[in-house]
Structure 1
Amino acid sequence: MIRFRPAGLLVATVLTVATLAAGCSAPAGEPGPTSLPGPVQSSARPSPSPSPSLSGGGTPSPSASQPAPSATPSAPPTQEPPPGEPDLSLVAGWSLEQKVGQVVMVGLPVKGPFQPTFDMLRDQKIGGVFLHGRTQAGRGPVKNLVDAAVAAADSPVPLFVATDQEGGEVQVLRGKGFSDMPSALDQATLSAPDLRARSEVWGQELAAAGVNLNLAPVLDLVPQQSATSNAPIGVFGRNYGYAEQSVITHGNAFAEGQRDSGVQTSIKHFPGLGRVTGNTDTTAGVTDTVTGPDDPSVSVFDAGIKDGTGLVMMSSAIYARIDPDAPAVFSPTVVGLVREHGFDGVIITDDLSAAVQVQDVPAGQRAVRAVDAGVDLVLASAKPSVAPAMVDALVRAARKDPAFAAKVDAAAARVVAAKSGL
């Protein structure tokens, strides 16, 4: 049964931020604000939902009831779906727009503007947000922002509220209520029980701020001899050591601690970014010429899948020994390899909104190609303004092609199933 989390009043606080942006592939420079701090009202038409007010306090806003959904899923099935197959009854009776909305996650910049994302949550019925950027504001203002997003949404099920809280260089949320987390490389010096206990505390901090999904841990296997030239991972110490067993033991300990706190995890970036030099966020043509389908780089993800992660994030690099013709996120062969490892949860993309690796593909087609390859959730975090084009392209493709529509149904059902414990 899907349980609804009470939504807060639409009250958001200005978030104080540093200059680094959150990126799923690697830290990168973020442009300055394009508007005054705080939400921006839409100039096209009034918003039916109240806009957040600006306040300097760190106290979370009072709770309020979540708006009634515009559609209600049909009754549970009388027959269980085959093992590994999504339960399509979870989205039976939903409109195509509602199903497509569950397949897209949009960025919510922690320093604003907020209103464009709130509008997309309502108008495109998007089912997830990613807190993007850097903030030192602490738990209270973050919780206010999350409550505002939840209240703005038009979704039959709870929102995924995600962020990148890996530690070290990649920690979106800081300030009062959030620990300063060491990098994964430093976390790997801890015992597994100690790391799991610490990760549970870090997860509790996220949960208290309304975050229910951490796009972590990084399970990329980085050779020590080339770490300093591995731009997305090794340069920033995002790897749990350099040996396969270290990555498995400590990556899984981190993930278990997060899930112990009620925060779901996404291991990343399948099938591994440890052997590339370029960062897919900032570089085109990033290619791994070494990793094959039976490589140890893939085995670490198999261990993370068996450990119980709810999501697996795809890399945007090209893997010449698996499919040389397409970035992994667009490749049915590479995406299919995740399923071959017995994973029946949600497969999510790395950011497809601003990553230079995929900029030669129009934004809407990036979403279509990813879902057509077997991906369930499309992330548009760094440049959320492209999300409506992605939604429109997915709707058009599903209306035109029944086979593609079936893929949308399956993807939406997996996302909704993953939200069942929220």
Structure 2
Amino acid sequence: MTTFTNARLIDPEALTDEIGWLTIENGVITARGTGTPPTGDHMDCGGKCLAPGIVDLGVKVSEPGERHKESFASAGRAAAAGGVTTMITRPDTLAAIDTPETLEFVTRRASTDAIVNVHHMSALTKGREGQEMVEIGFMKDAGAVAFTDCDHVVGNAKVLVRALTYARSCNALVIGHPQDPTLSQGAAATSGKFATLRGLPAVSPMAERMGIDRDIALVEITGVSYHFDQITTARALPPLERAKANGFDVTAGVSIHHLTLNELDVGDYRTFFKVKPPLRSEDDRLAMVEAVANGLIDVISSMHTPQDEESKRLPFEEAASGAVALETLLPAAMRLVHADQITLPMLWRAMSLNPARRLGLDAGTIEVGAPADLVLFDPDQPFVLDRFALNSKSKNTPFDGARLQGRVLGTWVAGNRVFGE
């Protein structure tokens, strides 16, 4: 039995932030309080924050097919260093995770190599090609927690309706990428003055609005449980709000990059800032922050997408999209807290409690009886990020050289310390 004392307990369920103590035993939280702690082994947290481990929805681990970019071992170390105790991995691998055999392979590899919890999503259609749905029932039985084709938007509405209907019958969660695929094809920036001056192929924010409108209509037809992986523009918020008001089983997420960066950060074609969807205007960024703070957007994720140096050292238009973010998610999110745009408990509701609830996982809380998946962190400790110090195999972070605040001091998974001394 171990008792964490003198800790700022961040409770995303009760939305409280108070000094107290918490006891773990046999991998489970057994007691907590704000008075005198029980006798036994104590760990003095020095007034630092103790919160549920982050549940990161939408991590790309490049196994199978591109293990040189990221493996389950390296991703697990990066997650632990970033306070992420549960990774929900994407199926956009080579080959796609679209059969029980492939799912069994990554499940086995993750269980032996990763030091944090790992759950896997399945592709929605075979090869993520949008032509034929996967065996949703078999994949769910094999352990898939959700179904998504990631950024390969299913363009054929009839195929998508068939897949959503079948997913509804299996009580399966579908995750969609709200974009009109024809408008967004080949885009490297968001349309506007900046993209025009830089001569970059751009996409209108309306492409996201059109994508979310279509998908909400299909949700209404089928009654499926649906999650939008990334909402990034203010234009997409009104239909999301209407869908929730109409009682549809719809939730939405946003990446940490779209909450903390904007289109001007691309500067002189810096490819580490090339992500998908492209970075948006400052007005859109502020709208996303407000939507998270008021609960309209439910989930914040890293959208961790490792890319090797060769795929980034290209002209901006040709460079691969994506950034690593398992280790930068927490300190980047602290920017919102230090700017008084969101409270720590509300932030942790979006980064831990809500994704766990959406996927039906026993995680994201510090209530008695919950798994002892915890992160201890100093929200104020400053540092300058060195991308070469990251645990990920790939080093493509837009925060290289950035001054950040928020340092993970320790991470526990099922009561076992996996990061920190």
Fold similarity call, TM over 0.5: no
TM-score w.r.t. length of structure 1: 0.42
Structure 1 or 2: more strand by fraction? 2
- The higher relative CO (CA closer than 8 Å, separation ≥ 6) is in 2
